[in-house]
Chains A and B, each alone.
Chain A
Amino acid sequence: MIVVLALVVLAALALVFMFRVARGHAKPADPQRLSQAIRAVDVEAFRNLIDPAEEDFLRKSLAPAQYRAVQRQRLRAAVEYVSCAAQNAAILVAVGDAARRSPDPTIAAAGEKLVDSAVRLRLYAFQAKGKLYIGILLPGTRISPSALVENYERMTGLVFQLSRLEYAARTGASSV
């Protein structure tokens, strides 16, 4: 019964969501007016907030509890910057999309490039925010995709070695 109720509620939520999307689709915004909503975001200030050298300096200079508090504040500020940049990118996707359909080939080509850059930023912002939130939860933790890959390869190598040893032990035991 609970499963049925849960599925019915999920179906209802999906329906409401789709109607909201449909309503948004019916009212396209004027891209020229939209571009007035773009806010300037200082990338230098953001760079400073996520600078590893700055982070190391703070870690050495402050007591652990103080370092964690300061680092969390810095990362929350960094999340705000990324969110703002991502919001600008969302506006620029709409602007670029409108430009892509321009009869002027120069504007159309520029629009194409704009959409590509803006979509890329939205994707990177999603990943970066995930990493920043992990940093807020565990300040000082460093997560690198390449380190994850290395660890995974090391782990699979160890599993392979182990299975070879087990096989050798079994065949050695059976021959005895």
Chain B
Amino acid sequence: MTLRVLTWNYLIIAPHVLLIVLLVALVRSRTYRQFPAFVAYVASEILQFVVLYPILTLPSVFPPALYAVAYSIGTGLSIGLRLLVLYEVTAYLFRNHELLRRVGGQLFRCMALALLLSALGLAAYTGGMSFHRLLSTLNLLDRTASILQCGLLVGLFSFSSYFGISWRSHAFGIALGLGIFASVELANSSIRTHVGYAYNMYLNYLTMVVYHACVLIWIIYLWAPERSSQYALKTLPEHNLEDWNQELQRLIQRG
């Protein structure tokens, strides 16, 4: 067995073995109560591996067309679940802030619509190489979803950074892993839409390496217990926030 074959098999199998470890950690720590969509996503990825790996490695038993169809269905399911996880993380982050939930909700709906329209417009404008209709469509769908996910995650990080919302470790780890994967997939699917089958092997390796790294990020953040504040506060500083809020509100509403 050559090094290339070993590496290939390692990169396919190892992340999914680690996902099983992650799933066990999520169930044991009861994190599935806070992030059920993420748990569903992890379970779905494991299930896809169990179905797809035999189809891929036993071409004498399973026809190649079956892999293309099964892979397409799996990719569609993963994309849907990742968007649901993104929504779940956002809702979790703003659960204690009524004002931000309202403002953030409106802002993210507008952002999602704008990103979706841009991505669909781009898909219609650039199209894809007609190397294989199903794969080409899948690539465009992947790119569209990556634009949406990447854009929303950058928006979420920027929004929470501006308002100083503190992330709990688990939510942050999930969002970070998703964000890294979405960014790399965006670059990957954009290149693939342009070059078709050329460089396919290198792009596949890149996806697998990054996915492996993201699974490790999830394990690191989700295995560790939630970080509690290491600083104890005895008093709160003096402030005149209410005066400022009144003044600024008056300025905003003034004609």
A residues with CB within 8 A of B? 1, 3-4, 7-8, 10-12, 14-15, 17-18, 21-22, 24-25, 28, 30-32, 35, 38, 41, 43, 46-47, 50, 52, 82, 85, 88-90, 92-99, 101-102, 107, 110-111, 114-128, 131-132, 142-147
A89, A93, A102, A142: which contacts B232 (Cβ < 8 A)? A102
The 7 closest A-B pairs by CB, nearest first: A144-B255, A93-B164, A124-B248, A11-B187, A7-B190, A117-B241, A35-B237
Residues of the B chain whose Cβ atoms lie less than 8 Å from the Cβ of A30: 231
Contacting A38 at CB < 8 Å: which of B157, B229, B239, B251? B239
Q: Would you call B254 an interface residue if the criterion is a C-beta within 8 Å of the partner chain's C-beta atoms?
A: yes
Chain B residues 162 to 205 lying within 8 A of chain A, measured CB to CB, are 162-167, 172, 176, 179-180, 182-184, 186-187, 190-191, 193-194
Evaluate contact between A11 and B236: CB separation under 8 angstroms: no
Using CB atoms, name the residue of chain B closest to A119.
B163
Q: Which residues of A contact B251 (CB under 8 A)?
A: 50, 128, 131-132
If A101-B228, A123-B103 touch, does A32 touch B255 (CB 8 Å cutoff)?
no
Knowing A11-B186, A142-B255 are in contact, say whether A3-B126 is a contact too (CB < 8 A): yes
Q: Are A147 and B247 in contact (CB under 8 A)?
A: no
**Whole-angstrom distance between the Cβ of B12 and the nearest chain A Cβ:** 23
Using Cβ atoms and an 8 Å threshold, which residues of chain A touch B162?
Answer: 122, 126
User: Contact: B183 with A11, CB < 8 Å?
Assistant: yes
Number of A-B contacts (CB under 8 A): 170
Chain B contacts of A25 at CB under 8 A?
A: 167, 172
- Give B206-255 interface residues, CB cut-off 8 Å to A: 228-234, 236-237, 239-245, 247-249, 251-255
A107 to B186, CA, bound (A): 45
**Chain A, interface SS category:** helix
> DSSP majority for the B interface?
helix
Question: A96 CA to B187 CA in the complex, in Å?
Answer: 40
A32 contacts B231, C-beta separation under 8 Å: yes
Given the interface pairs A85-B244, A98-B229, the reply to whether A18 lies near B239 with Cβ below 8 Å is: no
Question: B100 an interface residue at 8 Å Cβ cutoff?
Answer: yes
- The answer, among A38, A43, A107, A145, for a CB contact under 8 Å with B233, is A107
* CB-defined contacts of A46 to chain B, threshold 8 Å: 247
Q: Whole-angstrom distance between the alpha carbons of A120 and B102 in the complex?
A: 12
Provided the pairs A25-B167, A88-B239, A122-B162 are in contact, do residues A8 and B190 lie with their beta carbons within 8 angstroms?
yes
* Contact of B190 with A15 in the complex, beta carbons under 8 Å: no
Supposing A11-B183, A119-B99 touch, asked if A102 and B244 sit within 8 A by C-beta, the answer is no
In the assembled complex, which residues on chain B have CB atoms less than 8 Å from the CB atom of A14?
Answer: 150, 153-154, 179, 182-183, 186
Known contacts A7-B186, A22-B176; is A94 also within 8 Å of B164 by CB?
yes
Separation of A28 and B227 alpha carbons in the complex (Å):
11
Q: Cβ of B241 and Cβ of A89 under 8 Å apart?
A: yes
Contact A43 B163 (CB under 8 A): no
Contact between A147 and B255, CB atoms less than 8 A apart: yes
Whether the pair B190, A1 counts as a contact (CB closer than 8 A) is no
